Amino acid sequence: MKGLIGKKVGMTQVYDEKGILIPVTVVEAGPCKVVGVKTKEKDGYSAIQVGFGVRKAKNVSKAVKGQLAKAGIEKDLPAVIREFRTDEDPAVELGSEIKADIFAQGEFLDITGTTKGRGFAGVMVRHHFKGGRDAHGGGWHRKPGSIGCRETPGLVMKGKKMAGHLGSDTRTVQNLRIVRVSAEENLIFVSGAIPGPNGGTVLVKKAKKK
């Protein structure tokens, strides 16, 4: 499984070889440092742990500092660390860098991000309820309606659609085609939109269903 941690830069438009205008999202994918390697013999599964970004040393726990020290990383400690499963034991060294050039134009990606938080929202915004009538005695314009049952079971059923917090959910968009790769700048241009705000952290992985 090829994967990187990245940052959503924003959206723009590019022309392909046929002169067709394509809306794309620009992702700064890497460089990511290898901070851990898992093997089937030692850990029971194969995986690679990578770090992205920079954070102050005072904001990193001693446990994470110890792991990073084994990889020879004592300065510019990564802000985000994620693990990517692999089919076989990864042939990478601790402390090495993985850049955007592991992906190529024409490949398909699955990109995971955190959607924008919208705060508290009612049922019409959160669940697209139609709402009540606005005239002729209607007194329930934006209300959810009945939420309970009778004496049996006498409670609100689990999963009932009600008002509450909207957004800040982890979402994955699958099968996004790579339109262009700028290896020098570690930028990947993918067709379509991805979750989250500009500057948000995203996980970029090879598409599972392609």
- Cβ-contact 98, 189 below 8 angstroms: no
Secondary structure percentages of the chain, helix, strand, coil, to 5? 10, 40, 50
Q: Please name the residue ranges forming H helices in the chain.
A: 40-43, 62-70, 123-126
Which tens digits make up the pLDDT trace of 67-114?
A: 888 888 888 888 889 998 888 888 888 888 888 888 989 899 999 999
Mean pLDDT of 155-184: 93
CA 188 to chain centre: 15
Instruction: Report how far residue 181's alpha carbon sits from residue 101's, in angstroms, rounded to the nearest whole number.
Output: 7
Determine the residue type at 147.
I
Residue 153 pLDDT grade (very low, low, confident, very high; cuts 50, 70, 90) = confident
Which tens digits make up the pLDDT trace of 22-80?
A: 999 999 987 888 888 888 888 889 889 899 988 888 888 888 888 888 888 888 888 88
Question: What is the dihedral sign for C-alpha 166, 170, 174, 176?
Answer: positive
Which tens digits make up the pLDDT trace of 53-62?
A: 888 888 888 8
- Cβ-contact 172, 80 below 8 angstroms: no
Instruction: Report how far residue 38's alpha carbon sits from residue 32's, in angstroms, rounded to the nearest whole number.
Output: 17
Kindly report whether the global pTM for this prediction surpasses the value 0.75.
yes
Q: Please name the residue ranges forming H helices in 36-195.
A: 40-43, 62-70, 123-126
- Cβ-contact 83, 37 below 8 angstroms: no
Beta-bridged to residue 21, according to DSSP, are: 15
Confidence (pLDDT) at 1: 64
Instruction: Report how far residue 26's alpha carbon sits from residue 11's, in angstroms, rounded to the nearest whole number.
Output: 6
Half-sphere exposure (CA, 13 Å, Cβ side) for 178?
25
Beta-bridged to residue 50, according to DSSP, are: 34, 82
The tokens describing 156, both together, are 């609100």
Instruction: Report how far residue 196's alpha carbon sits from residue 117's, in angstroms, rounded to the nearest whole number.
Output: 9
Sequence-ordered list of residues with C-beta below 8 angstroms from that of 172, at least 6 positions apart, any chain = 110, 111, 112, 195
